[in-house]
C-alpha cells in the first residue's frame, strides 16, 4: 500500500476517518474530504504524525462541481488516483413509510445515491484512463435487507449496491475494480443517531451473533483488503462486515 494515492469521502468521522487512518498507517498518500474543515484539519495532522502525506479538501458530494474539483485536486497533487472510498452518507429520517416526505426522500437519496454516483463518475474517469484503480462504496446490511423504520435509507443502500455492480461491469476490462462493504451496526455517530440511546444500542448488540457492535476499524480493515492486490480478482461484490448478522 506504500505511496498508494487514496481519496476518502466522509473522512472527518466514523468509518471514513478510521479508513483514512488505516491507509495512513500503511504509508498511503491521502486526500481526505468532508464538510467539516476543523475535523478535516485535525485528521490531517493526525495522519501527518503517522508519517503519511495527507490533505483535507472540503466537498459536499451532492454538488458535482465540488466532486469534480476534489478528484481533479487529488490528481494534480499526487499525479494519480489508486483507491477511492466513498463513505459520505446519511442515515436519513427514521420512521414509517407513511410519514416519509418528498424532502426526506430527496435528502437521503441526494447524500447516499447522488453522492456515490457523482463520486464514482469522477473517480472512474481517472481510473479508466489510468487502466488501474479500485473503488469501495459504503452499503449496509440494509442494502440487501428491509427495515420497517428506515425505508429511505434501505432504498438508498439498495441503490448503492446496484450502482456498485453496474460500475464494476463497466470497468472490469480496464483493470479497475468496484466493490462495496456492507457493515452491520458500527460504533459511530450514525449508530447513536439511529438507535437513540445506550439501552437501544445494547439491544442491537445482543441481536448480533458475535454479541457486540462492530468498530469503525473493523470496517476499515475490510476496505483496506478490498483495496489491496490480495483481492485482485474480486469485483462487483458486496462484502458484509457484520459479526454474522446476515448468516442468521
Ligand atoms: N455506523 C453504522 O452502523 C453503519 C452501518 C452500515 C453502513 N454505514 C455507512 O457507512 C458510511 C459512513 O457512516 P458512519 O457510520 O461513519 O457515520 P458518520 O455520520 O460518522 O459518517 C458519515 C460522514 O459523511 C458525511 N456526509 C454526509 N453527507 C455528506 C455530503 N453530502 N457531502 C459530504 N459528506 C457528507 C458526514 O458529515 C459524516 O462525516 C455511511 O455511508 C453509512 O451509511 C454505517
Look up cell 498507517; give the residue.
25
At the fourth CATH level, which superfamily is domain 5-240?
A: NAD(P)-binding Rossmann-like Domain (3.40.50.720)
Tell me what the mean pLDDT of segment 90-101 comes to.
Answer: 97
10 C-alpha to center of ligand 1: Å? 6
Catalytic residue chosen out of the listed positions 23, 78, 109, 153: 153
d(C-alpha 223, C-alpha 213), whole Å: 18
Residue range 19-54, pLDDT digits in tens? 999 999 999 999 999 999 999 999 999 999 999 999
Q: Which of the listed residues 12, 88, 140, 204 should we mutate to test ligand 1's pocket, taking the one with most ligand atoms within 8 A of CB? A: 88
| List of residues 6+ apart from 97 with CB closer than 8 A | 151
Q: What does the DSSP 8-state code read for residue 56?
A: E
127 is written with which cell numbers? 481510473
Atom in ligand 1 nearest the alpha carbon of residue 157: 43
Of all protein residues, the one whose alpha carbon is nearest to atom 1 of ligand 1 is 186
CA 179 to chain centre: 11
Hey, is 119 helix, strand or coil? Answer: helix
Q: Is the pLDDT of residue 197 over 90?
A: no
Atom in ligand 1 nearest the alpha carbon of residue 139: 7
Residue range 137-181, pLDDT digits in tens? 999 999 999 999 999 999 999 999 999 999 999 999 999 999 999
State percent of the chain over pLDDT 90: 96
Least confident of 138-152, 189-203, 234-248: 189-203
Atom in ligand 1 nearest the alpha carbon of residue 17: 16
State percent of the chain over pLDDT 70: 99
Phi first, then psi: what are they for 7, rounded to 5°? -110, 130
Model confidence at 1, pLDDT cuts 50, 70, 90, reads low
| List of residues 6+ apart from 103 with CB closer than 8 A | none
CA 242 to chain centre: 15
Is any ligand 1 atom within 6 A of the Cβ of residue 213?
no
* Domain ranges across the chain: 5-240
Atom in ligand 1 nearest the alpha carbon of residue 110: 31
Higher confidence at residue 192 or residue 158? Answer: 158
Per-residue pLDDT at 20? 98
Tell me what the mean pLDDT of segment 122-139 comes to.
Answer: 98
Is any ligand 1 atom within 6 A of the Cβ of residue 63?
no
Of all protein residues, the one whose alpha carbon is nearest to atom 7 of ligand 1 is 140
**Would residue 153 show up in a list of annotated catalytic residues for this protein?**
yes
Hey, is 248 helix, strand or coil? Answer: coil
Residues 86/136, Cβ–Cβ less than 8 Å: yes
Beta carbons within 10 angstroms of residue 243's beta carbon: 21
Is any ligand 1 atom within 6 A of the Cβ of residue 10?
yes
Model confidence at 3, pLDDT cuts 50, 70, 90, reads confident
50 C-alpha to center of ligand 1: Å? 24
Q: Please give the mean pLDDT across all residues of the chain.
A: 97
Per-residue pLDDT at 2? 60
d(C-alpha 74, C-alpha 97), whole Å: 40
Amino acid at each position: 500500500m506504500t505511496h498508494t494515492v487514496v481519496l476518502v469521502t466522509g473522512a472527518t468521522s466514523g468509518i471514513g476517518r478510521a479508513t483514512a487512518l488505516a491507509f495512513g498507517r500503511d504509508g498511503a498518500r491521502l486526500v481526505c474530504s468532508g464538510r467539516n474543515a476543523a475535523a478535516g484539519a485535525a485528521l490531517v495532522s493526525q495522519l501527518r504524525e503517522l508519517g503519511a502525506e495527507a490533505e483535507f479538501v472540503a466537498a459536499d458530494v451532492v454538488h458535482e462541481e465540488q466532486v469534480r474539483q476534489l478528484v481533479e485536486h487529488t490528481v494534480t497533487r499526487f499525479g494519480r488516483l489508486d483507491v477511492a472510498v466513498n463513505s459520505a452518507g446519511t442515515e436519513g429520517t427514521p420512521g414509517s413509510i407513511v410519514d416519509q416526505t418528498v424532502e426526506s426522500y430527496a435528502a437521503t437519496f441526494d447524500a447516499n445515491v447522488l453522492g456515490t454516483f457523482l463520486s464514482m463518475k469522477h473517480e472512474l474517469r481517472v481510473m479508466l484512463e489510468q487502466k488501474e484503480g479500485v473503488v469501495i462504496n459504503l452499503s449496509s446490511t440494509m442494502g440487501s435487507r428491509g427495515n420497517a423504520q428506515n425505508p429511505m435509507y434501505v432504498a438508498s443502500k439498495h441503490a448503492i449496491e446496484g450502482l456498485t455492480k453496474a460500475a464494476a461491469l463497466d470497468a472490469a476490462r480496464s483493470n479497475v475494480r468496484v466493490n462495496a462493504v456492507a457493515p452491520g451496526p458500527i460504533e459511530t455517530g450514525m449508530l447513536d443517531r439511529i438507535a437513540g440511546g445506550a439501552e437501544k444500542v445494547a439491544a442491537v448488540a445482543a441481536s448480533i451473533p458475535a454479541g457486540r457492535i462492530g468498530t469503525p476499524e473493523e470496517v476499515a480493515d475490510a476496505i483496506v483488503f478490498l483495496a489491496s492486490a490480495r483481492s485482485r480478482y474480486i469485483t462487483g461484490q458486496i462484502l458484509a462486515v457484520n459479526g454474522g448478522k446476515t448468516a442468521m
